[in-house]
Amino acid sequence: MLSPFKILSKDPNCQARTGILYTRHGAVHTPVFMPVATQGSVKALTDEDLKNAGAECLLSNTYHLYLRPTTKLLQQLGGLHKFMHWDGSILTDSGGFQVYSLPKFRKIKEEGVTFQSHHDGSKHLFTPENVIQFESEIGSDIWTMLDVCIHAKNPTKHDAREALDITKRWAQRAERAYEKIVPVQNIVQNTDGSFTVNNSLLFGIIQGSIFPDLRKEAALHMAGLPTHGYCIGGLSLGETLEQMNEAVSAVTENLPEAKPRYFMGLGTPVEMLNSIERGVDMFDCVWPTRVARNGMVMTSQGRMNIKNAAYRTQDIPLDDQCDCFTCRHYSRAYLCHLFRAQELTSHRLLSIHNIRFLIHLMEQARTAIKSGTFLSFKEDIIQQYSQQG
């Protein structure tokens, strides 16, 4: 299947590459960080804040939107883009991870997974087929397949094998469900190498936990299915950095080069850069906005907590290297005051900064890849992060 992904440059010293993924809602430059709009909103931010921070693609959660406001209602109201006033790209996850997070209330069978709503305890069934249907009702640009996720901290190989086998069988069913909704691919490659895309894209999810042999098997299986790209699921869930890196390498080394790879749920700088080095193109995480609401910000000098009394009198921006709205207009002293006074504006201003920080980090990574200096760029960033404030 033709993937509307154009590779622009490759770093000769590692697997890192830059590219553009084209969707129905425009170009997404990779490596990319995608802010998470869990319930159709990136917490505390508007679409304008996200645009100004340079966001090109958001992630939203099928599980949450299915339960509330319901995907049927979203479809009636013209889809998620119109509902939340976002004209960039949207990727939806499959709900597999959210259901995994509810272990007491879920039951996995061959047909699908039954679970109880965290709102009212009502019972629901997700199948590979109906999840694709829900994503079409949401109207997102990139759809992902239902998968089975297990914890990555000391998993047993038996559990990882079981989760992988069912994920593989579900992938085939999801792919057939996608073909029913999108029977003809309307993706055209233009003479300049860009793509015009008129349908939603399908990404398969690769499981296999921390076991490189299972990851390789999962990658080869998914590479044999007609999809536009690949998600790496089930990592950043308690494994060591070494285990994460090994699992990622086992996946990317066994995937076709010409399609994008997306590491689900990763958004911490050092881990993202390690994965880019191994050929990963896309990331998402709630972490930057979640920690912002606790007063934690990332800066070019490492992390800082704005609650710290030392910032009460500092009439300088959070980060003098940052071009975000917050750093251009407000001082550390003001942000420290807002946070201590529990003013809600602090959530917005600190979230804007953290989102922009990660998007800017991806822009810097792209520049470094283009000039063949990604590895030294990565080492510099790791150095900065070892001096945390």
Q: Which residues here bind Zn ion, judged by CB under 5 A?
A: 322, 324, 326-327, 353
- Least CB distance to Zn ion at residue 316 (A): 12
Q: Is 366 helix (H, G, I), strand (E, B) or coil?
A: helix
The phi and psi torsions of 370 (rounded to 5 degrees) equal -60, -35
How many angstroms separate the most distant Cα atoms in the chain?
62
Q: At what angle do helices 212-223 and 241-252 cross, to 10 degrees?
A: 30
* Token pair listed for 387: 């001096």
Q: How far apart are CA 124 and CA 367, in angstroms?
A: 46
- Least CB distance to Zn ion at residue 326 (A): 5
- Least CB distance to Zn ion at residue 263 (A): 24
Looking at beta carbons only, is 83 or 385 nearer to Zn ion? 385
Looking at beta carbons only, is 101 or 300 nearer to Zn ion? 300
Please confirm, yes or no, whether 315 is among the known catalytic residues.
no
Residues 6+ apart with CB under 8 A from 8: 17, 18, 19, 20, 370
Question: Closest Cα partner for 39 from 14, 15, 12, 69?
Answer: 69
Q: Is the dihedral of CA 210, 213, 218, 223 positive or negative?
A: positive
Looking at beta carbons only, is 164 or 350 nearer to Zn ion? 350
The single-letter code of the amino acid at 294 is N
Looking at beta carbons only, is 230 or 339 nearer to Zn ion? 339
- Least CB distance to Zn ion at residue 246 (A): 34
Please confirm, yes or no, whether 284 is among the known catalytic residues.
yes
- Please identify which of the residues 11, 47, 284, 319 carries the catalytic annotation: 284
Residue 185 and residue 2 in contact, taking contact as beta carbons nearer than 8 Å: yes
Looking at beta carbons only, is 145 or 381 nearer to Zn ion? 381
The single-letter code of the amino acid at 226 is P
In order, the DSSP letters of 299-363 are: ETTEEEETTSGGGGG--S-S-TT--SHHHHH--HHHHHHHHHTT-THHHHHHHHHHHHHHHHHHH
- Least CB distance to Zn ion at residue 357 (A): 6
Looking at beta carbons only, is 250 or 322 nearer to Zn ion? 322
β-strand pairing of 201-206 with 229-232: parallel
* Token pair listed for 363: 């822009």
* Token pair listed for 82: 């119109």
Looking at beta carbons only, is 177 or 322 nearer to Zn ion? 322
The single-letter code of the amino acid at 313 is T
- Least CB distance to Zn ion at residue 302 (A): 14
Question: Closest Cα partner for 372 from 60, 103, 17, 107?
Answer: 17
The phi and psi torsions of 9 (rounded to 5 degrees) equal -155, 160
- Please identify which of the residues 11, 47, 93, 319 carries the catalytic annotation: 93
- Least CB distance to Zn ion at residue 360 (A): 8
Q: How many CB atoms lie within 10 A of CB 224?
A: 11
Looking at beta carbons only, is 324 or 359 nearer to Zn ion? 324
- Least CB distance to Zn ion at residue 74 (A): 33
Residues annotated as catalytic (active site), given as ranges: 93, 284
